[in-house]
Chains A and B, each alone.
Chain A
């Protein structure tokens, strides 16, 4: 009986140490000389060029954060592994340690804060409406009786639902399987408007056959703080990540990075997204914060 207790105690202790190690990402990076960055394959802030190459505003910002951490840990070499994530698997894979930090287009909200930690907000997404330029839709009022498309598995669906309630508008709602699918519905006139994050709309329009056919119109429907996501309960790692973000904002390099990915021609097609830095994002950079979506308000 006592022996069993001892075995149990040892295994609990061992599990405890493993847990402690798992939650000290900096120590893990230092001992292994490797780190895993979670990236997105097709979002406005991070996407793939194929062949395991990942680029985009937040992907590159994540790489710079990791380089700063490498300096802080005085590591000669740091191997960065890229792990593409989807909306469905990003939280479990951050929780179980498959990725050490995720920098994509994840909204910081209260529900997710129960499962993961978020760094400083580095981008404030504005949910907007994209329409065909010749459709005559200019405002949310014009949407009455129209068909709206949005993408399954995004927070824009909720935004749409809330607006429907608040404005007492009657419109038909369809949902695309992914952003490309939703945009195809707008393109092929199956939907009159595409409601989605401004950066995703701008990116899809810039990549379309005829970008001049589309317009982003109307008011901002909601604002969502986007931030890098890391494991919960690892204050040291969060501090290091935030320090790097603060540094990048202070010396203006993040603004330059923004210009590179949103105002200049970008691969693979060398087309400009053309989405100027919004007041909301500027404000988040000026007043560094880790507030969830629920505490952000429309201005």
Chain B
């Protein structure tokens, strides 16, 4: 197997290797294109993650409200709806089906729709984690809040959620990494992200192995950075003596 890493310095129009691996005066090399594709991947993933965290936290919290069977039922329905349909199908529904039902959505960019699709898909999974985090807390925590004279909102804000989030940091980390990997479906609705770059560039250059290795490295690097950031947050927010804090049991 012989490598040809020069492929990244090729111009995308003339296929000639330039002096610099970055194109000048509007010329684009495959390296320029790779970096721009990586940018799209990061944008899709990070925005989807923001949506997922906000919506997931709200839905997950609503699902644990006492004496509100309707709200809990709606939250459950949300989770089951979004986690039982394959992600690619959801992306197609957002891109092709919804705009044909609601013409207003026709003008919305594919990028926005795919961010919504991945965001809501992931929100269902995060909602499930938030719910289990809250329910994993001893019942006494809620009672303690009530005994202090807190309202339901205050009990969640000051007692339950701060503890619940600490418990679910590890699954939340994998979810954040998953968003990066799931962002690859964005190519299906013509967002010029890494997977699309890989499919197109390997066709043009016939150097599939080098292209896919580079793209893999970009994905691994992005996911790893998120992993480290989450690990840092986990470490800084750790409460001494809390479950799973020492990682070693009793």
Contact = CB atoms under 8 A, between A and B. Distances in A.
B192 interface: yes
A158 B199 contact: no
A177 B187 contact: yes
* 5 A-B pairs closest in CB distance: A111-B206, A174-B190, A153-B199, A175-B190, A177-B188
Interface string A184-223: 1100110000000000000000000000000000000000
A85 B204 CA distance: 17
A111 B205 contact: yes
A176 interface: yes
A289 interface: no
A287 interface: no
B200 interface: yes
Contacts of B188: 177, 181
Interface of B: 12-13, 15, 96, 100, 106, 110, 187-188, 190, 192, 196, 199-200, 202-208
Nearest to A184: B96
A92 B212 CA distance: 14
A299 interface: no
B96 to A, nearest CB: 7
Contacts of B192: 175
Interface of B is mostly: helix
Contacts of A11: none
Given A165-B13, A188-B100, A175 B205 contact: no
Nearest to B202: A88
Nearest to A107: B203
Interface of A: 87-88, 91-92, 109, 111-112, 114-115, 149, 152-155, 157-158, 161-162, 165, 174-177, 181, 184-185, 188-189
Contact of A188 (B13, B96, B206): B96
Contact of A161 (B12, B110, B205, B207): B12
Given A91-B208, A161-B13, A188-B96, A153 B187 contact: no
B243 to A, nearest CB: 45
B234 to A, nearest CB: 37
A5 to B, nearest CB: 25
Nearest to A178: B188
Given A152-B187, A181-B188, A114 B206 contact: yes
Nearest to B207: A111
A177 B190 CA distance: 7
Nearest to A91: B206
Contact of A87 (B203, B205, B207): B203
Given A88-B202, A154-B203, A175 B196 contact: yes
Contacts of B202: 88, 153
A175 B203 contact: no
Contacts of A152: 187, 190, 196, 199-200
Contact of A157 (B15, B200, B206): B200
A117 B196 CA distance: 27
17 contacts: A88-B203, A91-B208, A114-B206, A152-B187, A152-B200, A153-B199, A153-B202, A154-B203, A157-B200, A158-B12, A161-B12, A161-B13, A175-B192, A175-B200, A176-B190, A177-B187, A185-B190
B208 A153 contact: no
Contacts of A181: 188
A112 B15 CA distance: 13
Contacts of B206: 91, 109, 111-112, 114-115
Nearest to B197: A152
Contacts of B196: 152, 175
A154 B204 CA distance: 8
B208 A88 contact: yes
Contacts of A109: 206
Contacts of B110: 174
Contacts of B204: 111, 155, 157-158
Contacts of B96: 184, 188
Contacts of B12: 158, 161
Given A88-B202, A152-B196, A153-B199, A162 B190 contact: no
A171 to B, nearest CB: 14
A231 to B, nearest CB: 15
A266 to B, nearest CB: 27
A161 B199 CA distance: 16
B34 to A, nearest CB: 15
Interface centre among B100, B187, B204 (most CB of A within 10 A): B204
A239 B204 CA distance: 28
A18 to B, nearest CB: 17
B200 A153 contact: yes
Contacts of B205: 111
A153 B203 contact: yes
B67 to A, nearest CB: 47
B54 to A, nearest CB: 29
Interface centre among A92, A111, A115, A165 (most CB of B within 10 A): A111
B208 A92 contact: yes
